[in-house]
Amino acid sequence: MRGVRTGVLLAGGRSVRMGRDKAFLVWREKPLWWWQGELMRVGGVERLVLSCRREQGLEELAGEWAAGNGMALEVVFDPERGEGGMVEALELGMRVAGERALVLSVDMPEVTRELIEALDAFEGGILFTGSHGPEPFPGIYTGAMMEVISAMGGALRRGLDACVEGGLARVVDAPEALRGGLANWNRPGDVK
């Protein structure tokens, strides 16, 4: 990747529909959190902000992995009550990340480096076009985008729409051959 050197990995969701912690689902013999961290590392991210739940124990595993790969790691924990959901986790992660960061959700193992590079070809906030408007992940977020999203009171899609309408984020089409990488694993039947 060219310009983004900080990444935010959202790995702390409650995984209610999946019935088990998505961060630890195994794909190609490794847990999903490992795949997303590795994707960021090989893509040029030098500093990873990991958003997770304290009880997951992920910070220790990720810390060992990051140290072994020469990557800086900062961990933010989801609030104990977890009432803010994904938007609150995103806000906390971006607060630590700073002005511009690549944001990935742990449940999207088929995102590729090429897909991320398609985002990083532009300045500012960048999102892919989806069937319901801008796709939240993967995306390149900015501090200005987070101000708008936060003002929407937890409505991520409405916030992303407002960012695009206000010129704070650009929406681009994912290359046809890479669109399958935008799928996420929400239910047991999604696991490949």
* Angstrom distance (rounded) from CA 34 to CA 186: 18
Please tell me the pTM assigned to this model.
Answer: 0.92
**3-state secondary structure (DSSP) of residue 140:** strand
Tokens of 93: 């992660």
Nearest 5°: the CA angle 172, 145, 39 is 60
* Angstrom distance (rounded) from CA 15 to CA 26: 14
H or E stretch at 47:
strand 47-52
Domains of the chain and CATH, by start = 6-176 (3.90.550.10)
Nearest Cα neighbor of 32 from 5, 54, 70, 61 is 61
Tokens of 107: 């449940």
Contact indicator for 52, 79 with CB cutoff of 8 Å: no
Query: pLDDT per position in the chain (192 positions), as tens?
Result: 557 899 999 998 766 676 677 888 898 999 999 999 999 998 889 999 999 989 899 999 999 999 999 999 999 998 776 566 888 999 999 999 998 999 999 999 999 999 888 888 788 899 999 877 899 999 999 999 999 999 988 789 999 999 999 999 999 998 888 888 888 887 777 787
